[in-house]
Amino acid sequence: MDRNTQQKSHDLEVLYAQLEKDAPHLPLAKTATDIVPGEGPSSAEVLFIGEAPGYFESVERRPFVGKSGQLFRKILETESGIKPEQVYISNIVKVRPPDNRDPSIEELAAYKKYLDAEIEILKPELIVTLGRFSMGKFLPSAKISQVHGKLHKVKWDGFTSFVLPMYHPAAALRSTATKQAFTTDFKKIPKIIAWIKEQKAVAAKQKPEPEPELTPLQKEFAKSDKTLDALQASVIEHLF
């Protein structure tokens, strides 16, 4: 394990220790054992972000181990073309909502800083959102039926991220067509990772150019970074 990976692992341990310490003051949680932390190597290239833990996740304190999680892990291991050691798995909310209901706006806000910290520590090559709630963090106005499987370049929290929205595996369990789309989108990930690395290698060899002056129309779009980035993403999505 190199020094950078060791530091990431340490930072994640510190983060989850703080999250467990904060548990009594967070919505949904009563004690530290209610928290379901992320799982995977700190050197992961891909970060999968789900919605919230379910019953089995809350019992095992591991993300995606219930029925939909088993489907997710099966496709990851047998059909995706990526290795489990390349991925980190987490949720946008770290505690199971009652009866597996949708998380509330207040709950999403309360756990936001912990997911933000995970992303900052891991610095993944690609973020894959599973379902509409995690997608909404980066593409708040998008509809998952229209953007799933399409790569987006998003300026988020001060840095650029590549985001691939996918259906939640629970939705894939309910519909044969959705499962097929879910599997097809999964299989795009190796090619997307390779493309991102190529782009970074090219950029590293090029001298940075000054930012061009925005037109009045671009300035209007730039009032929301996410709106401008969604327009840029429409070019990327056709590559895959």
What is the C-alpha separation between 130 and 181, in angstroms, rounded?
13
Burial of 100 (0-12, 13-18, 19+ CB in 10 A): middle
Nearest residue to 27 via CA among 99, 105, 129, 118? 105
> For the ranges 111-125, 186-200, 201-215, which has the lowest average pLDDT?
201-215
What would the pLDDT profile of 13-56 be if each residue is shown by its tens digit?
999 999 999 999 999 999 999 999 999 999 999 999 999 999 99
For the chain, what are the domain ranges?
Answer: 3-239
91, β-bridge pairs: 50
What would the pLDDT profile of 142-197 be if each residue is shown by its tens digit?
999 999 999 999 987 777 899 999 999 999 999 999 999 999 999 999 999 999 99
What is the C-alpha separation between 41 and 89, in angstroms, rounded?
9
CA atoms within 13 A on the CB side of 82: 27
Over pLDDT 70: what percentage of the chain? Answer: 86
Q: How far apart are the first and last CA of the chain?
A: 33
Over pLDDT 90: what percentage of the chain? Answer: 76
Q: Which fold has domain 3-239?
A: Uracil-DNA Glycosylase, subunit E (3.40.470)
